[in-house]
A and B are shown apart, each in its own frame.
Chain A
Amino acid sequence: MTSEAVRDLMLYGMLMVSAAGFYAMFYALGRMLERPSIVTFSYFFAALQALGALGMILPPYLDPFWKYLIAFSSAVYLFIPQGMWWVVTTFHEKEHAH
C-alpha cells in the first residue's frame, strides 16, 4: 500500500465516523427542538458520512470484503438517527403511559 493510500484511508475513515456522529447529533437535536431546519442541516453530515465511505470504497486500495463492510456500515449510519429516534421516543412514551 502506498503512503497516499494510508493517508486517504485514515482521513476518510475519520470523516466517515465523525460525520455519522454529527449527523446523529443534529438530527436528534432538530427533532427534539422541533426545528426542521436543523434536521435538514443534519443531512449535510449524512452526505459527508457517505462521502467518507466512498473515499474508502472507490479507490482500489481495499479488497472487496472490506469494501462491502464499509458500504454496509455506511448504509447503517444513514438510518441510525431515525431508527434510534423512533426507539427512544417509543420507549419513553410506553413508559409514561404505564
Chain B
Amino acid sequence: MTQALPQGKLYESQKLALWYFWVALALFGAQVLFGLLAAWQYLDPNFLYGKLSFMTNRMLHINAMIVWLLLGFMGGVYWFLPLELGREVVGIRLARFAFFTLIAAVGIVVLVYLLVQYGPGNAFTLWFITEGREYIEAPRWADFGIVAVMAIFLYNVVATAIKAQRITGVVAVLMFDLVALAGLYMAGMNYTPNISMDQYFWWWVVHLWVEATWEVLVGSIMAMALMHLLGTPRRIVETWLYLEVALVFGTGILGLGHHYFWIGTPEYWLGLGGFFSALEPIPLVAMVVHAVYDAGMHRMQTVNQPALFWAIAQAFGNFIGAGVWGFMQTLPQINLYSHGTQLAPAHGHLAFFGAYVTAILTVIYMALHQVRRPELPRFDSKLWKWAFVLMVVGIFGMSAAMTIAGFTQTMVERAIGGSTWQAYIDAQQHPWFQSGMVWRFVFGVFFLVSYLVLLWDLVTIGKGEARVVKEVGAHD
C-alpha cells in the first residue's frame, strides 16, 4: 500500500535526510579547513609544528571528505526512497539510531586523530587510534561501525521495497549496489603484513568502493533527482542507469588495474589496467552529449535553477575530472613517472568535486525547495550563482596549480632526475612547483570563501521569499 502525503508534508525519512545533509555540509567545511591547513604547511612546514602535523591535517581532510560524501548519499537515498516507493521507510527508528551512532563514532575518531594522532604501531593502535592506511585510516572499531551502519541502510532499502511490494529499476540497482558497498569496504579490513597483498585489497576500497559503487550510487540518486527536477520519464532514466552500470562494469572495474602497476603485482596488470583505463573516458564523453541535450531541452530553465546547474555541472565535472585528468596519467608509460606526484590530487580534487559534490548539492537544493517553499513556482536566490561560480573557479584553480606542480615533479624529479633523493629536492625547490603550491593555497582560500557563500545560501534560500514568478518548467 502506498501512502501519499499532503502537499508540503515530509516523510520521517525525509526529515532524517535533512539531518544527514546538514551534518554532511558541516563536514564539508571541516574538509576544506583541514585541507587549507595542510596546504599552508606545504609553504611553511613549521606551521603548527608539534601541535597538528601535516599527516593529521591531510588525514582529516581526506576522511572528512569520504564521510561527508557518504552522509550526503545516504541523505539522498532517504530523501528519495519514500517518494520512489510511495511509503515511509520501514526501519526509520533504526535509521535514526544508525545516524546518531555514525555521528558519535565520527566525532570520537576525529577527537582521537586530533588529540592522540598516532600510536606505537601495534594492535591497540590499529583497533583504537588509526590503521595508518592512507584514505582508510579509521580505526578497526570504527570500520565495524561503518559496515554495521551500511548494513542497516541496506536493510532499510530492501525492507521498504518489500513492504511497499514495489521494486523499481532504480531501487533494484540501489539494492545491489549497497550490497557491494558494504562488502567491498570489508576488503580494506583484511590486514596482511605482505605489502603487495595489502595494497591489492586496499585498492578494492579506494578504487572499487569509491569509483564503482559510489558511481552507481550517485547514478541512482541522480536518476531519482532528474525525474523530480526535470520530469524526465522513468523509462529514460532507468535505461541510462542500466547503461551506466554496464559501463562501470565494462571499463571501471578492470580499470582498477591502473593502481596495480607498481605495487608488486604480476606484469599483466600493465596491459589489463592500461587497456580498460584508456577506455574509461569514452562513456564520459558520451554523457556530455546527453547533458547538453537535457539542458537544451529545458532551455536551462526549471523550477529549481540551482539544482539544475549543479546537475549539469555533475556531467561536465565527471568528464573533466575523471576523464581528462585521469587519462592524462593513466597509461603505464606515463604513470611510471607521474605516480604519486601532485597530479594525483589534481585528478582527485576535480573528479570528486565533479562527480560527487555536485550531485549532493543538486539533491540538497531540491530538498530545501520542498522543505522551505514547495508552493514557489521558482526556487531561486541571487547568492547561489555566486557560490556556484566561485566554487567552480576555486576547484579548477586548485587543480590547475597542483597540475603544474605535479608536472614539474614528473619531469624534474622522475623523468630527468631519475627519482634520486637529490632529484626530489630539485623538484621541491623548482619555481614551478613552489608557485604551484602557493597558488594551490590561494585558490584554497578562494574555495573556503565559496563554501561560506554556499552555506549562507543554503541556510537562507527560500526564506522570506515573497515574489511570485510565472511557472517556467517541469514540476519539482
Contact = CB atoms under 8 A, between A and B. Distances in A.
Nearest to A27: B289
A49 to B, nearest CB: 10
A29 B296 contact: yes
A72 to B, nearest CB: 9
A17 B324 CA distance: 6
Contact of A1 (B236, B297, B329, B333): B333
B285 A21 contact: yes
Interface string A86-98: 0011011001001
A34 to B, nearest CB: 10
A85 B289 CA distance: 7
A80 B236 contact: no
A3 B411 contact: yes
B interface secondary structure, majority: helix
Contacts of B338: 6, 10
B292 A25 contact: yes
Given A21-B323, A62-B333, A1 B285 contact: no
B282 A32 contact: no
B452 interface: no
A13 B331 contact: yes
B278 A14 contact: no
A66 B331 contact: yes
B413 to A, nearest CB: 11
Interface string A30-71: 001100000000000000000000000000011001100110
Contact-size category for B: 35 or more
B184 to A, nearest CB: 28
Interface of A: 1-3, 6-7, 9-10, 13-14, 16-18, 20-21, 24-25, 27-29, 32-33, 61-62, 65-66, 69-70, 73, 76-77, 80-81, 83-85, 88-89, 91-92, 95, 98
Interface of B: 233, 235-236, 239, 271, 274-275, 278-279, 281-282, 284-286, 288-290, 292-293, 296-297, 319-320, 323-324, 327-329, 331, 333-334, 336-338, 407, 410-411, 414-416
- Give the 9 A-B CB pairs with smallest separation, nearest first: A32-B296, A3-B415, A28-B292, A84-B289, A28-B289, A6-B415, A24-B288, A17-B327, A14-B328
23 contacts: A1-B337, A3-B415, A6-B334, A6-B414, A9-B331, A13-B327, A13-B331, A17-B281, A17-B285, A17-B324, A24-B289, A25-B289, A25-B292, A28-B293, A29-B296, A32-B297, A69-B278, A73-B282, A76-B282, A77-B282, A80-B289, A85-B293, A95-B236
